A = this chain, B = another copy of it.
């Protein structure tokens, strides 16, 4: 089930004092929740521990009791966010249904999850990617990978079964799927225009799906021929 408290999953190593009790766990959850809001509204640099503490009605010092610094806190926020959306995809994926249905589920979920949180989290991840020392990236890349894994697996299986075309590398497929989604979300956010997620998802799938399918024979052959000729003419 989605939205189960993700704070419980990884053992706390970053905080200063061990957190065994329920009270501690709740504190951590609260801090992470509020921090997510602040980080995603303001961005890493502009977010302040002062604001986080104020919103929680606690002392700033308390935050540093549980997290060893602002950077540490932001890492935790990002991790939890990823954990949530990964869990959501994992739990809801209709594995028994068709590839198209599963694909549609991922698209719809992505749009939903990212629209709810705004682009704030994207921007946070984005800005953290350029942190001075790059241990951040090392922690982020696996998460990113885990997140896109279900869809990539799906595509992989589809290609193996012949249902999906194999002449496009998975890497490009990923960009062709996630790229437009992010673009659509970004436009919706900056324009303050509410978005009909189901409609947008359908529309998007309507465009993407034909692209993913194995093309019919003649079309495929013609396309291959064209590519070869273009290549040949470019040799001069």
A223 CB contact (under 8 Å) in B126, B180, B222: B222
Main secondary structure of the interface of A (DSSP, over half): helix
**One of A42-50, A67-75, A79-87, A155-163 contacting the partner:** A42-50
Instruction: Tell me which residues from 109 to 148 in chain A have a Cβ below 8 Å from any Cβ of chain B.
Output: 119-120, 123, 126-127, 129-130, 137, 140-141
Q: Do A127 and B137 have beta carbons less than 8 Å apart?
A: no
Shortest Cβ distance from A181 into B: residue: B179
**Cβ-defined partner of A179 (8 Å) among B44, B171, B183, B190:** B183
Contacts of A226 in B (CB 8 A): 222, 225
CB closest chain-B residue, reference A120: B130
Copies of this subunit: 4
Bound CA span A157–B175, Å: 27
Is the CB–CB distance between A130 and B43 below 8 Å?
yes
Additional 13 contacts, C-beta under 8 A, given A172-B180, A222-B222: A41-B130, A45-B46, A119-B130, A123-B127, A126-B186, A141-B191, A175-B187, A176-B207, A179-B179, A180-B180, A207-B211, A210-B211, A229-B229
